[in-house]
């Protein structure tokens, strides 16, 4: 059911685990009121560090990341859309790290490409050199707009080649073999800009290879790969949030928490997160309520809270909705309110893999306190900086516990994520989690029933 040849698949996975890679993660963690540590979600190179400045007075996290990248002794390049605002110029002077604004690089390559395009037509070298170095933005856009459709195609081909050479890009992710030794890398590239660039992972040590970043952008994928250290979800398509969904009803009846969370699978900044009393979905007989079918289309008819209404409007447009139990965090005291709040933890860590060995470099973390003290409102249940949460430092005790947990759980996730490259396009992500169970379950099927409930498989 999982793969046609499990033995061969397992060997391919083991081979992929030996890749040389590096990654940056912003983990959203929770310490439950019972004291257990669980992963809410995993964020990739797009996860910010601004909460560190609020909590500690300085953003030591970003500096720590750049220093870690520079420690490998390879040329480091950072691509961003706001190079001036990121205040990374210190790294150019002290660490020889190059920081580039992507929009500026695009424009420079565009001007050069247009000059080359004209040179190919005129063969006038002097005009080419003068045009390249003196072309204003206004002149470029005017000349660019004058090109015919055929000329545009030729120009864009030159532009793509120049941009690829300048930034270390390749235009397809097919057959990316990756690196198998840090000595093979020509440099390190960190493009924490949230755009879909495909860098040449056979030449550069790219922070968050494409498959690793995929595993962070899709919440359901990262949840599966992080299991059993994540919160289990029931994924539904928007049109499945209806009274007749028996699968969802069964899931909600199993969930012990009186509240549940609905959130978009590809959401960001807390947008679309809704916390509801479970009785809003289930009736006394344990069946889905009839009105559930109308929540997405007419949330204003069924709810008064504007944030819940706005959340359902986001969920309606989502590709997939994740339904999870609402788990209370341990209480965190807020000096601002003098009361206890629910809180989630943003923890930043770097991961390096080489030859099958996976190591974690800790950057640090802080606590995000929900805007309101512990209670039933949305602002008491959702802790996200973009939703009004405020950041406070981690206690030394929590910091020590989290370091130990991350040392164990993050390599567990990362090893599985590396195996994604071994999965054929049509294969489920669950295959990557299946590998460590292969010898025990596939070769010894009589143990399936005995350990099924214990291991969650």
Domain boundaries, the chain: 1-74+168-231+335-457, 232-325
Query: Tell me, what's the pLDDT at 84?
Result: 56
Tokens representing 358 are 């996976």
Query: Tell me, what's the pLDDT at 262?
Result: 93
Query: Tell me, what's the pLDDT at 449?
Result: 44
Residues 288/248, Cβ–Cβ less than 8 Å: yes
Query: Tell me, what's the pLDDT at 52?
Result: 94
Residues 144/131, Cβ–Cβ less than 8 Å: no
Query: Tell me, what's the pLDDT at 130?
Result: 62
Edge-to-edge order in the sheet of strand 37-43:
37-43, 21-31, 343-354, 357-369, 390-393
Please give the torsion angle defined by the CA atoms of residues 179, 185, 191 and 196, in that order, rounded to the nearest 10 degrees. -40
Single out the residue of 386, 374, 402 nearest to residue 54, CA to CA.
386
- pLDDT by residue for the chain (457 residues), tens only, comes to 567 788 888 888 888 889 999 999 999 999 999 999 999 999 998 888 889 999 999 989 999 999 999 999 999 999 887 655 556 778 888 888 998 888 888 888 998 888 888 888 777 666 666 666 678 888 889 888 998 988 899 999 999 888 888 888 876 656 667 888 899 999 999 986 555 678 888 899 999 988 898 899 889 999 999 999 998 899 999 999 999 899 999 999 998 899 999 999 887 777 889 999 999 999 989 899 999 999 999 999 999 889 899 999 999 999 899 999 999 999 999 999 999 999 999 999 999 999 989 999 999 999 999 999 998 888 888 888 878 889 999 999 999 999 999 999 999 999 999 998 888 766 778 888 878 777 666 665 544 444 444 343 3
Euclidean distance between CA atoms 202 and 187, whole angstroms:
11
Query: Tell me, what's the pLDDT at 445?
Result: 52
Cβ-count burial 267-276 (b if 16+ within 10 Å, e if not): beebbbbbbb
Say if pTM beats, i.e. exceeds, 0.85. yes
Query: Tell me, what's the pLDDT at 103?
Result: 85
Euclidean distance between CA atoms 394 and 27, whole angstroms:
14
Coil, strand or helix at 393: strand
């Amino acid at each position: 059911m999982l793969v046609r040849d499990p033995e061969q698949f397992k060997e391919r996975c083991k081979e992929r685990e030996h890749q040389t890679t590096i990654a940056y993660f912003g983990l959203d963690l929770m310490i439950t009121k019972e004291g257990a540590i669980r992963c809410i979600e995993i964020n990739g190179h797009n996860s910010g560090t601004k909460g560190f400045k609020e909590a500690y007075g300085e953003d030591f996290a970003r500096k720590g990341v750049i220093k870690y990248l520079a420690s490998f002794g390879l040329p480091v390049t950072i691509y961003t859309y706001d190079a001036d605002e990121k205040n990374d110029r210190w790294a150019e002077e002290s660490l020889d790290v190059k920081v580039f604004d992507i929009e500026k690089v695009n424009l420079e390559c565009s001007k050069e490409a247009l000059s080359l395009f004209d040179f190919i037509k005129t063969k006038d070298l002097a005009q080419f050199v003068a045009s390249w170095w003196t072309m204003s933005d206004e002149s470029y856009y005017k000349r660019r707009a004058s090109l015919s459709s055929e000329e545009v195609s030729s120009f864009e081909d030159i532009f793509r080649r120049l941009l690829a050479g300048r930034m270390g890009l390749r235009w397809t992710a097919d057959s990316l073999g990756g690196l198998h030794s840090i000595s093979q890398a020509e440099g390190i590239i960190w493009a924490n800009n949230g755009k879909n660039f495909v860098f040449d992972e056979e030449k550069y040590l790219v922070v968050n290879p494409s498959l690793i970043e995929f595993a962070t952008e899709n919440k359901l994928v990262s949840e599966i790969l992080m299991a059993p250290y994540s919160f289990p979800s029931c994924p539904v398509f928007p049109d499945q949030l209806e009274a007749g969904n028996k699968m969802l009803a069964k899931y909600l009846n199993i969930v012990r928490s009186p509240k549940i969370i609905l959130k978009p699978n590809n959401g960001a900044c807390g947008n679309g997160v809704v916390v509801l009393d479970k009785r809003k979905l289930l009736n006394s007989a344990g069946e889905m309520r009839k009105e559930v079918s109308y929540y997405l289309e007419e949330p204003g008819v069924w709810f008064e809270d504007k944030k819940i209404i706005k959340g359902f409007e986001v969920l309606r447009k989502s590709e997939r909705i994740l339904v999870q139990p609402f788990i209370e965090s341990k209480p965190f005291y807020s000096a601002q309110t003098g009361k206890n709040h629910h809180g989630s933890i943003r923890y930043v860590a770097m991961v390096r893999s080489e030859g099958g060995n996976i190591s974690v470099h800790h950057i640090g973390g802080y606590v995000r306190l929900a805007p309101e003290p512990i209670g039933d409102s949305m602002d008491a249940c959702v802790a996200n900086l973009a939703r009004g949460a405020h950041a406070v430092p981690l206690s030394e005790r929590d910091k020590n516990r989290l370091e130990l947990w991350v040392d164990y759980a993050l390599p567990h996730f990362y090893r599985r994520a590396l195996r994604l490259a071994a999965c054929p396009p049509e294969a489920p992500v669950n295959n990557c989690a299946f590998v460590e169970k292969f010898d025990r379950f596939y070769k010894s099927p009589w143990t399936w029933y005995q350990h099924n409930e214990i291991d969650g498989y």
